[in-house]
Amino acid sequence: MKLAVVGGGSTYTPELVAGLARERERLDLTELVLQDVDSERREVVGGLAGRMLAAAGYDGAHSVTDDLDRAVEDAAFVLIQLRVGGQAARLSDETIPLACGCIGQETTGAGGLGKALRTLPVVLGIASRVRELAGEDAWIVDFTNPVGIVVRGLLDAGHRAVGLCNVAIGLQRFIAHLLGVDPARVAVDQVGLNHLTWVRAVRVDGVDVLPELLAEHGDTLADHVELPRDLLERLGAIPSYYLHYFYFHDAVLEEQRRGTLRAAEVAEIERELLELYRDPTLTTKPALLERRGGAYYSEAATQLVAALATGSGDVQVVDVRNERTITGLAGDDVVELPAAIESSGPRPLPQAPLAPELLGLVQHVAAYERLAARAAVTGDRELVSKALLAHPLIGQVPQVDELTERLLVEGRAYLPQFEATGTLA
């Protein structure tokens, strides 16, 4: 089985390679290709990956390339984890919103829209090559943010895709650790949209222990998601960390206005990571990688690939079409929730209706995501404005007008679709 990683020069890759090497038997992995457009990263990250695979005793094929076609040809799985425009673009996703009086975050709010506009066309282009060179049965696993919008775009275009995020597995591992039980026994019923989810039940061996968990470890869990404990208790659910941007919007904005940005931090960590990766004696992922974000992405991706390959029916939290799972959302909305992973793809598990205090916000953001995906594909400036107007954290005309202008003009280097429609003339 051949597996290709697009954006394989990411600093995340050692994490992923560690997982693939560990599970290579179960996956029947025979070829691994890391594709990246950045030659330095190919050399540094590819070099480390090779050393890691060798150290793990992997004897299949392994290559590093900048040639997308060669990478995806005949692949059974294509993992996409790229970042159009690199950390510089991320910085603009954070600074442009802030300059317009909005929070600057790379997946939530206007920054997420900027990223979606840049990213979706590139991912769709890759998916087309996959379809042509690897066939309609090849699976695309998208880890590229904003996952919800990117997967929506992939599915709208008819691709065989599933979205993946490490938020659910991160919380699952954290809770297993808290409870002192094997993670395999713990399941989190996380539901919502990507980066807009709540865990409404935590099952250990199938039994919901969330009330006890909140009673005993409420403070720890609350710290983990940076929200107050009594909010978790009142909702009867654990919101994802990203809800922080909604439930404490003004405080986050004020903090951002006074200070430093995550992008600057990440760029610095990436520089250090690449420096570490160059060390020819390094054959394991360095500890610093944990501060990069993306923890457990490796496990999640490896499990997902294995489950799809074997049709195991394992339950995993993934991003898929809603169909009729969540009442009040449209069938073609892309939701994030537990699904049984079968050979034919993920099958969402049934969900009780969302409480109104969750549903209204989810519906609002889903409407935004619909417009965002359309805007990214069409290069229609009006849809950019409408997406911003539809976002619950923006929604105001002065901000919408200023953001539309700046996102398109300052991001133009990566927005050929808007160039084509004359929007940036």
Residues that bind a copy of itself (CB under 8 A): 95, 98-101, 227-228, 231, 234, 246-251, 257-260, 328, 330, 355-357, 359-361, 363-368, 370-371, 382, 385-387, 389-390, 392, 395-398
Closest distance to a copy of itself from the beta carbon of 357 (Å): 4
In angstroms, rounded to a whole number, what is the distance separating the alpha carbons of residues 244 and 166? 17
Cα 319 from Cα 148, distance rounded (Å): 7
Enumerate the β-bridge partners of residue 188.
202
- The rounded distance, in Å, linking the Cα atoms of 206 and 188 is 10
For the bound state, the minimum distance from the C-beta of residue 371 to a copy of itself, rounded and expressed in Å, comes to: 5
Is the separation of the CB atoms in 305 and 27 below 8 Å? Answer: yes
Cα(290)–Cα(273) distance, integer angstroms = 11
Shortest distance, position 21 Cβ to a copy of itself, whole Å: 40
Q: Name the one residue in this structure whose structure tokens are 């560690």.
A: 18
| CB of residue 159 to a copy of itself, shortest distance in Å | 22
Shortest CB 260 distance to a copy of itself, Å: 7
Cα(320)–Cα(164) distance, rounded to whole angstroms?
9
> DSSP letters along 246-260, please?
HHTHHHHHHHHHHS-
Active site residue: 242, 245, 296, 368, which one? Answer: 242
Is 242 tagged catalytic?
Answer: yes
Neighbours of 312 (CB within 10 A): 16
DSSP string of 81-111?
---TTHHHHHHHHHHHHHHTTS---SSSTHH
The alpha carbon torsion through 110, 156, 378, 319 (nearest 10 deg) reads: 10
One-letter amino acid identity for 329? L
Catalytic residues: 242
